[in-house]
Structure 1
Amino acid sequence: MSPFDIDFSNPFPSGFSGGLGGPNQGGHQPPQWYIQFGMDLGADEGTQIFAAFDAHITKYAPHDPAADTQKVYGAQLFMRAPNDMMGGFYTHLTDVPDGLGVGSTVSRGDFLGTVLRFDPTATHLHLALVEIIGGAPNGTYTGVDLYKLFLDTANTDTVTTVTFMQDGSPPTVN
């Protein structure tokens, strides 16, 4: 497989309040990649959340307040990069724009919603990333740890190119 690059920006160009834990920390444990490789990025309720990379939405579960639990709450967005070889999972958001759903295309920096307050001690966005070796839908899903990148670029408009090797090794932040 050939390596590929994706440009990332922070989902919080403003309003980020601190990191609350990254992959394999605290409750971020296997077996699901979208939990194990989760990054909890702190922000106050109502802080705007933006797409970290160009993508198309493959799954969407709108926020249903009646179904909220301590672990699962807010809207959920699964999206994949245009080449279907990398994806992301966003949760704990609300105010998702009308018309945004399965099949929608988003560009890096597009508005996705706002941070939902459910747990007042740890209001945050949960974002998990995955490299799909061989491409979706039948590729091998390998979680990606870009927590340090998101901590380092919080509250900025910095664009960072990340190279995915398609061999199971960690991506390279350029």
Structure 2
Amino acid sequence: MGRVEALFTAPADGEPMRAHETVDVVDGGIRGDRYLLGTGHYAPFDVCEVTFVASEGLEFVRDEYDIDLSDGRHRRNVVTRDVDLRALLETTFRVGDAVFRGTRPRPPCAHVGRVAGEEGVARALKEGRGGICADVVDPGSVTVGDDVAVVEAAPRDVGRDIAARLRETRE
């Protein structure tokens, strides 16, 4: 389906994101990341255990808005390549040794722009480029270059497929 292009964590709100080759995913998030530690900007009220963003969206932001966020200023943990992140919502998916469940979109906010230190970041990340949130289902390690693969499709998608097949057999 796609792969991991970059990995980031930050120990606390407003701290620069740190790039990693490998991260340890544990129950509740990524070891050493601000939201697992309870030190994120929105903790404890609006926490994503792990955040994902598409590299293609970041490239669009760079090309269209002249804002390069490749250093982690996008404030997301996992940067993917060739992955339709919206398709991972409500699905169970594997990345490296870890398994996740896509929970909701992660739209950008003004805080991202303030921390990035650049005007227009939140606006540039809108329209689905802000990424998604995911919960940890099974802990494990994730490494740059690991594949992203669906383990279990979204229940609503499965239901629609079954209904479509039933309609076809009646016709």
Fold conserved between structures, TM > 0.5 = no
Q: Which one has a larger percent helix, Structure 1 or Structure 2?
A: 2
**TM-score, scaled relative to structure 1:** 0.28
Q: Which one has a larger percent strand, Structure 1 or Structure 2?
A: 1
Larger Rg: 1 or 2? Answer: 2
